[in-house]
Amino acid sequence: MAEVIRVKNEALKQMANHVLQEPRLECCGLLVGKDGVITRIFPATNEAASATEYSIAPAELFRYMREIRAAGLEFMGIYHSHPNGDNKPSARDIAQAYYPDVAYFILSPRKDTPTPVRAFSIREGEAAELNVQIV
């Protein structure tokens, strides 16, 4: 059985809204929470401005990390979208998964996607799908 990642419905809605703002480009952001539940998103700017990759500027990432710590929250995940492909980790996603202890959410803006929100644990070059539990 897959590991479970718990997320508030409101955070999922905010991620989905972010994806739809620029559906042709990858969007990205951080996921934070408390007590094992993702409760908030920190939408970031995709510095790459690309349909096939994302990059959060170091200054923005550091600013968010300071805000997260100051609010007493935990950094629990990263989200991004795949505008044109399947919402499973690409080779680049796996290679650039620098945080092995967080969940990687991948969203699809396409209406024909069977599961528009998927989450993965990515460790040591291996991706394992997580069971997303909405709370």
Could you please state the CATH topology (level 3) that the domain comprising 4-134 is classified under. Cytidine Deaminase; domain 2 (3.40.140)
User: Mean pLDDT of all residues in the chain?
Assistant: 95
Euclidean distance between CA atoms 84 and 49, whole angstroms = 15
* pLDDT given for residue 2 in this prediction: 63
**Per-domain boundaries in the chain:** 4-134
DSSP labels, the chain: ---EEEE-HHHHHHHHHHHHHSTTS--EEEEEEETTEEEEEEEE-BTT--SS---B-HHHHHHHHHHHHHTT-EEEEEEEE-SSS-SS--HHHHHT---TTSEEEEE---TT-SSSEEEEEEETTEEEEEEEEE-
Which pLDDT value is given to residue 51? 94
- What pTM, to 2 d.p., does this model score? 0.95
pLDDT digits (tens, 9 = 90+) for 8-27: 999 999 999 999 998 999 99
